[in-house]
Structure 1
Amino acid sequence: SFSRKKRHHIVIASNLISDVQSVLRSRLFEETSNCRSDIAKAEHTLTDLVKRTVEFGESNSLLIIGAKGSGKTTVVREAITKLQKNEKISKSLLVVRLNGYVQTDDRIALDEITRQLHLENTVGDKVFGSFSETLAFLLEALRQGSSDSSQPILFILEEFDLFAQHKNQTLLYNLFDLTMAGLTPMLVVGLTCRLDVMELLEKRVKSRFSHRQLYICNQWGTEDYIEAFSVLLHLDESFGKKSSKHKSFLKTWNASVKEMSENVSVRDILKRQFDISKELPSLYHLLVQPVTQISMTHQFITAADIADSARNIFADSKSNILHGVSVLELCLIISMNHLTNIYSGEPFNFQMVYNEFLKFSQKKSHILQRYKKPVVLKAFEHLTELELLKSKDNCVTAGSKILKEYRPMILLVEQQQLRDAIYKYPGCPTDVQQWAESSIV
């Protein structure tokens, strides 16, 4: 009986942890949480435009402009999710999504529009004289007898500025022209991060655009960012209604989140993250690792988890590569750093690096075995493959004329990266460390 009760408590605890992870993962991976008032305001504007298109047959065009990661796609997604709860709108509204990175020309875009409107069979083997004829035929096929019964369509153009690079801007011209004609209820929404996007449009395209522009601008301060951190981890009261265990865990969890958000080291990490990017995706990135580590044996996120995640985010990729090179390759990098300092950043070649390495190895022969020149050259080439150094200018094309031992090279490792690598290198010989320190200015 005792064993059965124990198993029962373990199952309850396991389900509880699973529920916590489910809530937090949905916020981070599905990005269902919205902590910004400006996004809510923009969402309301877009929702209103779509409603007018569906209910009154109004046709419009709109540009949503904001920096990458500022929430442009979130505005559109939240607006559509909200509208789909309205049965009348969800049944009649057609949504066509295009992306400038994928639909790289108008023909590809037209094929995608046909596919998303499920009109492949309608088009069949018909031959059209122009792009506009094809698009007009597609829209005509959606009519249900009269112009008043046409299905409203929402066109979402991600990376709108890339569509402006299409030949003659045919797609944009036809979409905007159809919104002006008003025969089919349409709303064209373009998303872009370019503030000068209007300057990219041809005169005939610009004249057909309604000039509605919605700017997404994050005006958060540091405290707002820290508050968003707490909101993302905070469990709602609805979580506690599942069971008494959930209710008890809810209070403990929220108390730990509050304590963590007031922790000095956590606040310092968040301030550093805020200086890099104050958008929500940066918070999602920071919290992914701590959330996925929640388990039966580790039920609460701690300041140490946040610090560990931050270290992984801020880790320098080249420093990490340097931790995995051999002692010989590390010595060659130190030799290159010496030469870079001596010659004030001028290019060097393998022969110069080899001579510098020989000076050190001959003095410290008890630490480094006497590597033969072909072995050292192989290590040098491996560093080139790792992109820790590169050939200067166009010397690669002239490789047939210049021997690889004398090809001018440039070191791509900075002083701080070398310093970090030396201190963190496992089992780095003391003499090598001292030699490296003498080369770091």
Structure 2
Amino acid sequence: MSKRKSTGLTVVSESASYAELQKILRERIYKISAPEEIDEDSDLEKPRRHLLDLIQRCSSMGESNSALIIGPRGAGKTMLLKSVLDELKENRDFRDNVLEVHLNGLLQTDDRIALKEITRQLQLENAVGDRVFGSFADNLAFLLEALKKGSRDSQAVLFVLEEFDLFAHHKNQTLLYNLFDVAQSQQAPITVIGLTCRLDVIELLEKRVKSRFSHRQIHLFNSLTFDRYLEVFSSLLTLPTAEVKDKKFCAKWNKHVQNLSDDPGVTTILRKLYDTSKDIRTLKTFLMLPVARISLSHSRLELADFAEAHKILTADSKSNTLHGLSVLELCLVVAMRRLSDIFVNQPFNFQMVYNEYQKFVQTRSHAVQGFERPVVLKAFEHLQQMELVRAAEGAGIGGRGQKEFRPMTLMIDRSQLMQAIQKYPACPTEVKHWANTL
């Protein structure tokens, strides 16, 4: 009896340990955000000091500035800015004297929405709660008046524009022009910091906007080595000994993680992921599926878990799109691929595709259902809507001629098509044979 009872307690104890393991790893990995701090020996320390000095001069001396932080995703742009602001906010004078306005090009899709958000975050007179009133012209005039009426001793404003390049696509770039104009003319102490992934972002600015920008650019590059990447992989999966109740379970799990890091199969998969992207957020996304599977019945992370996660993460979106096509649409894609191979990537039109499809149906009428021309044309137009086919360069979007004769280009290569056909559910054998003759 006592033996059975102790066995039951052991199972409960193991179940609790795995629940605790899941909780710790999920909180760590599912939080796709920037790291909390920057190492002193990091490559980011020099640009960090430069940015810190830039913002500090605005808050303490009323000096207006503008700068761009440029770098690929995962290089540390957001982490850099967050680290600087966290340090500055420790100073009470900075908290009292500087107002922050955070905008994102993905959310504020035009200047009207951006101005409403600025007015809301600055808590100006015409803002009531989270609602902002007034037309675009009123908002713009009010914002400029609020910024210009102050002297160099007035409260400073820090504008942070994430996805800065998207603001350059706004009509007339009105918002950027006015922000840079206020900063350049020293009408009020403001600092404009833009974050972007595009190296050519300056070329997107209009001449009048470019002339008012300070042209300060902070370039960041991801210098993460593969050895360091493996260390991050291990640290994400390693349990903190101090926080785990069952020390024996913790040591056993950490030993398992160390063995995973030394496993050639796992290292090969991580190398492929590293060569694709050095971004730590991508690594966290990759680890989500293996971590979600950890349980009492699946107590160890296995090579198959990582292989499947990598396969899902690197799946070809166009191949996946092809899986949802009808058999007729799939036949049209094969016909277009054949025409592209025959005419060496020259444009084709619907009439050519229809003729090719008709040849296929006539030779295999016993196995493949034929469709009338209007039905085939409708399927062809659906492929255009899915952006698997597009108008050839120089043909124009509208086109003056009949739509059946407009030159088109296929956006799928042979490997993508073959991969999709192999996985296509209940794909007719005749269609597979036709595709294999490519």
TM range (shorter): 0.7 to 0.9
Please report how far the alpha carbon of residue 19 of structure 1 lies from its aligned counterpart in structure 2 after TM superposition.
2.7
Residue 412 of structure 2 aligns to which amino acid in structure 1?
Answer: V
Distance in 1, Cα, partners of 2:328 & 2:109: 48
Distance in 2, Cα, partners of 1:201 & 1:383: 37
Deviates more, 1:301-310 or 1:120-129: 120-129
Q: Which residue of 2 aligns with 1:75?
A: 80
Q: Is the aligned partner of 1:240 residue 2:241?
A: yes
Q: Is the aligned partner of 1:118 residue 2:123?
A: yes
Residue 268 of structure 1 aligns to which amino acid in structure 2?
Answer: T
Aligned pairs for 1:304-315 (under 5 A) are 304-315=304-315
Q: Which residue of 2 aligns with 1:422?
A: 421
Distance in 2, Cα, partners of 1:208 & 1:343: 50
Per-residue CA distance 1:316-363 (angstroms, 9 max, x = gap): 122112233333433332222223322333344444434433433344
Answer yes or no: is the 8 Å Cα contact 2:36–2:79 preserved in 1. no
Per-residue CA distance 1:80-117 (angstroms, 9 max, x = gap): 33444566654654322234566677776555444223
Name the SS of the counterpart of 1:244 in structure 2: coil
Distance in 2, Cα, partners of 1:19 & 1:376: 54
Q: Which residue of 2 aligns with 1:39?
A: 44
Per-residue CA distance 1:34-74 (angstroms, 9 max, x = gap): 687223554455446556665x5463635243223122122
Q: Is the aligned partner of 1:216 residue 2:224?
A: no
Q: Is the aligned partner of 1:290 residue 2:290?
A: yes
Answer yes or no: is the 8 Å Cα contact 1:350–1:377 preserved in 2. yes
Match of 1:171 among 142, 164, 179: 179
Answer yes or no: is the 8 Å Cα contact 2:361–2:370 preserved in 1. yes
Distance in 2, Cα, partners of 1:127 & 1:318: 43
Q: Which residue of 2 aligns with 1:157?
A: 161
Answer yes or no: is the 8 Å Cα contact 1:106–1:170 preserved in 2. no
Instruction: Give the TM-score normalised by the residue count of structure 1.
Output: 0.75
Cα distance change of structure 1 residues 120 and 104 upon mapping to structure 2, 3 Å threshold: farther
Cα distance change of structure 1 residues 302 and 32 upon mapping to structure 2, 3 Å threshold: farther
Deviates more, 1:347-356 or 1:415-424: 347-356
Aligned pairs for 1:79-94 (under 5 A) are 79-84=84-89, 89-90=94-95, 93-94=98-99
Please report how far the alpha carbon of residue 307 of structure 1 lies from its aligned counterpart in structure 2 after TM superposition.
1.9
Per-residue CA distance 1:365-404 (angstroms, 9 max, x = gap): 44324555555445444434433334546577357x6264
Aligned pairs for 1:36-435 (under 5 A) are 37-47=42-52, 50=55, 56-57=60-61, 59=63, 61=65, 63-69=67-73, 70-84=75-89, 89-90=94-95, 93-99=98-104, 111-120=116-125, 132-137=144-149, 139=150, 147=153, 151=155, 153-160=157-164, 166-167=173-174, 169-178=177-186, 187-193=191-197, 209=214, 213-235=217-239, 239-245=240-246, 247-373=247-373, 375-392=375-392, 394=395, 397-398=398-399, 402=402, 404=404, 406-435=405-434
Distance in 2, Cα, partners of 1:303 & 1:411: 37
Cα distance change of structure 1 residues 52 and 258 upon mapping to structure 2, 3 Å threshold: farther
Name the SS of the counterpart of 2:43 in structure 1: helix
Residue 30 of structure 1 aligns to which amino acid in structure 2?
Answer: S
Distance in 1, Cα, partners of 2:329 & 2:111: 51
Per-residue CA distance 1:175-219 (angstroms, 9 max, x = gap): 3443xx7x86x554343445566785979986894x765332222
Identity within the alignment, %:
39
Distance in 1, Cα, partners of 2:373 & 2:207: 62
Number of corresponding residues: 417
Unaligned runs of 5+ in 1: none
Cα distance change of structure 1 residues 415 and 108 upon mapping to structure 2, 3 Å threshold: closer
Distance in 1, Cα, partners of 2:384 & 2:119: 48
Cα distance change of structure 1 residues 88 and 397 upon mapping to structure 2, 3 Å threshold: closer
Instruction: Give the TM-score normalised by the residue count of structure 2.
Output: 0.75
Distance in 1, Cα, partners of 2:357 & 2:164: 54
Q: CA RMSD in A?
A: 4.3
Please report how far the alpha carbon of residue 132 of structure 1 lies from its aligned counterpart in structure 2 after TM superposition.
4.8
Answer yes or no: is the 8 Å Cα contact 1:52–1:58 preserved in 2. yes
Name the SS of the counterpart of 1:241 in structure 2: coil
Residue 336 of structure 1 aligns to which amino acid in structure 2?
Answer: M
Unaligned runs of 5+ in 2: none
Cα distance change of structure 1 residues 394 and 255 upon mapping to structure 2, 3 Å threshold: same
Please report how far the alpha carbon of residue 75 of structure 1 lies from its aligned counterpart in structure 2 after TM superposition.
1.0
Cα distance change of structure 1 residues 47 and 12 upon mapping to structure 2, 3 Å threshold: same
Please report how far the alpha carbon of residue 130 of structure 1 lies from its aligned counterpart in structure 2 after TM superposition.
8.4
